[in-house]
Each structure stands twice: as C-alpha cells, then as structure tokens.
Structure 1
Amino acid sequence: MIYIIITSVIIAHICNKQLYKICDEINKNKINTIIIYLASISSMMLIYYKYGLNVESIKYLSLIPFIIIISIIDYHTIYIYNMTVLSGIIVQGVIFLITINRETDALSHILGLVIGFMIPYILSVVTKGLGKGDIGLYGLCCFALGHNYVTYLIYLSYVMGFIYCMYILLLKRYKIRKIPFAPFISLATITIMLTNYDILKIYFDIISN
C-alpha cells in the first residue's frame, strides 16, 4: 500500500504541474491543487484496495490522471483538448498491447473504444448536447472499462449531470446555458471502477421492494 500512496502523490504532483502547461487560461490556485491531490490519491488507493495489482487495475490507475486533468480544464473553460484525450487513448493502447496475452477479454476493450465513440456521437447529433471532446472522453473511458459498461457509463453520467442541473436551477436559481460535462463522465467512470454494477443493483432492489 505504501508504494501506491507514493506513486499517487508523484502522479498528483505531475498532474498539478501539467495542468497549467496544457491550459494557460487557468490561473494557479490552491483549490485546483487540493482537488488534484485528493482525487488522485483517494481514487488510486481505492482502486488498488479493490483490485490489487493486475491488468485491470493498471488500466484504471493509468486512466485517473487523464480524466482528472480533462475534468478540471473542462470545468474552467468548457473545453476539452484533443491532445489530452488522444494521449490517454495512446497510453491505454500501449497498456492493452503489453498486457494482451494476460487479458481475459481483449475484444471487450476494443469494442468499448468503438462503441464508446459511436453512441455518444449519435447522441451528439440527435440532441446537440455533447461536444466533440465529450465524445472522445467517453471513448477513452469505455476503452478502459470495456464494452459491458458503455451504456451504464452514459446513463450514470447523464444522471449525475441532471442532478447537478437541478441543484443549479433550484438552489442557485439562474438559467443554465452550458455546463461542463467531462466532470460527470469522469465521476461516473470512477464510480463504475469502484462499484461495477452495485449502484444499479441497489436501485433495482429498491424499486422492486
């Protein structure tokens, strides 16, 4: 456990440095630093605690820095840089190729990447509610999670986004023009990593009772 703590601290430090290099529109402040360190260390420790050190956990751990940086940039600028998504896909692809012999269901991740692009793209065309960056982020996250979680990820991220919109409308009481959606995709991804389908099962258990 001590190694994963040290690793997560180092990764959080690198993320904090890279954030401002990638997007110079964001001013350096302690809040961003705190969020990066807390999100990186806590999520990586929980993933390691749940999965140990195996192929699946390596994919998840390597995804965390990218979705945190993407989410913070999107929150401040409502924009997702293509290079951040592409870099994440490349890293996931390298890990996939290195571990393909140990991968129990390699096809699932390839399908996850393809379907993870296709469904959000269709939603973007139909609803005009997703940006190109959001589509890319879905593809990246689905590549790591596998095709079995594609629809669940999309559903969960929309639910989280809806809850936030209700909070804005009811408590803040001002009109919603455009919201950053990457944080909800990332939060839904981390939730799935840590719980799989547990939340969905609890929901249906409540409905059935």
Structure 2
Amino acid sequence: MYLTSIIISVLIYNKYEITIDSISYFLLIPFLVIISVIDFRTSFVYDITVVSGIIIQSVVFILNKIPYAELLNHFEGLIIGILLSFLICKITSALGEGDIGFYGLCCFVLGAKHSLNVFALSFIVTSLFGILIILKQKKIDLKVRVPFTPFISLATILIMLTQCDIIKIYFEMITNNL
C-alpha cells in the first residue's frame, strides 16, 4: 500500500508539480487506497471515510480560495457522482450503496468535467477484470461479487495522471469508423 501511494504521488508531482490540483490529489490518494483495501477485504465502504475525504477536499478548495466557477465545477462533480451512482445502484443493483459516496468523493475532486469519465473508465476496467476471471475459471458465474471501489480508484488515478476524456475518445472512435 505504501509503495503504491508513493509511486502515485511521485507521478502526480511529475505531472503537476505543486499546484492546487496536486495537493488535492495527494490528499485523495490515502482515501483511495484505504477505502479500496477495506472494500476488497470486507465488502464494506464506511461513510465516515468517504465523508472525511469530502470534508478534507472542501477545506483544501476553500483555503486555496479557488475561483467560484471552479469551486462550483467541483460541487457539480460531487452531485453528478452521487446522483448517477445512486441511480445505477437502485435501478440495476450493479453497485453497492457504499460506492455511491465513493463515486461522489472521486467526482468531487476531479470536477464535473471528468465525472462521467470516472464512471465510464471504472466500468471498462471492471469489465476487463471480469473477462480475466471468466478466462481463468473457464465459466461464467453471475453470482460472483467483485469489490468495485478498487476499480473506481484505478479509474480516478488514471484520469488524474492523464486528464484523458474517455467519452470523447470513444465517440471519436465511433465517428471515425462510420
């Protein structure tokens, strides 16, 4: 866990140096790691850890006096993260209730611009993992439950490091093939 956190921190520093974004990302990394490990081992995401992350990120944004428009962008990300994951959880039961707050935290830090990308990338990465499970077991078992927060964390880290717009790339691929 420590090595992973250090490597991600170094990569973030190399990309952003010391900026508001990098400070926010540095403070998010322990939450990503801790919540993912707890979910992996126990299948629980505790609200106190998610709410603590949101509070710490709010303090960072307020103390750095980021412009109102940017602050609004982060809060829109929080709302998108919570509402979209809540709908997915209630309509499809594909997510656990703990994932709702965790998506909110990740989308809050990344802002509204990357909120949908977090969802898209986390489901893509989880699908790839599912394919590996199927290939390894040589059968499809729909009752296998996979902890989802590690994939949300991985998607968030990939977006932090690349600032990649997955949805834009996807639609560009579709339009280029038509």
TM-score when normalising by structure 1: 0.77
How much does 1:37 deviate?
1.7
How much does 1:172 deviate?
2.6
How much does 1:177 deviate?
2.0
Say whether residues 1:107 and 2:72 are aligned partners. yes
Whether contact under 8 Å (1:153, 1:188) holds in the other structure is yes
What pairs up with 1:130-149 in 2 under 5 angstroms?
A: 130-149=95-114
Q: Identify the residue that residue 156 of structure 1 maps to in structure 2.
A: 121
1:132/1:53 Cα in 2 relative to 1: closer, same or farther (>3 Å)? Answer: same
Q: Identify the residue that residue 157 of structure 2 maps to in structure 1.
A: 190
Cα shift readout 1:187-209 (whole Å, capped 9, x = no counterpart): 00000000112666666666536
Give the Cα–Cα distance (whole angstroms) in 2 for the partners of residues 169 and 62 of structure 1: 36
Whether contact under 8 Å (2:126, 2:148) holds in the other structure is yes
Q: Identify the residue that residue 179 of structure 1 maps to in structure 2.
A: 146
What pairs up with 1:79-94 in 2 under 5 angstroms?
A: 79-94=44-59
1:71/1:55 Cα in 2 relative to 1: closer, same or farther (>3 Å)? Answer: same
Give the Cα–Cα distance (whole angstroms) in 2 for the partners of residues 91 and 172 of structure 1: 42
Give the Cα–Cα distance (whole angstroms) in 1 for the partners of residues 78 and 4 of structure 2: 24
1:188/1:101 Cα in 2 relative to 1: closer, same or farther (>3 Å)? Answer: closer
Q: Identify the residue that residue 46 of structure 1 maps to in structure 2.
A: 11
Cα shift readout 1:66-104 (whole Å, capped 9, x = no counterpart): 010001111111111111111111111111111134676
User: What is the number of residues matched between the two proteins?
Assistant: 174
Say whether residues 1:129 and 2:94 are aligned partners. yes
AA paired with 2:17?
Answer: G
Give the Cα–Cα distance (whole angstroms) in 2 for the partners of residues 114 and 201 of structure 1: 21
How much does 1:173 deviate?
3.2
AA paired with 1:196?
Answer: Q
TM-score when normalising by structure 2: 0.90
Whether contact under 8 Å (1:112, 1:148) holds in the other structure is yes
1:38/1:206 Cα in 2 relative to 1: closer, same or farther (>3 Å)? Answer: farther
How much does 1:58 deviate?
0.8
Matched residue SS, 1:180: coil
Instruction: Structure 2: give runs of 5+ residues left out of the alignment.
Output: none
Give the Cα–Cα distance (whole angstroms) in 2 for the partners of residues 205 and 149 of structure 1: 17
How much does 1:38 deviate?
2.2
Give the Cα–Cα distance (whole angstroms) in 2 for the partners of residues 113 and 199 of structure 1: 19
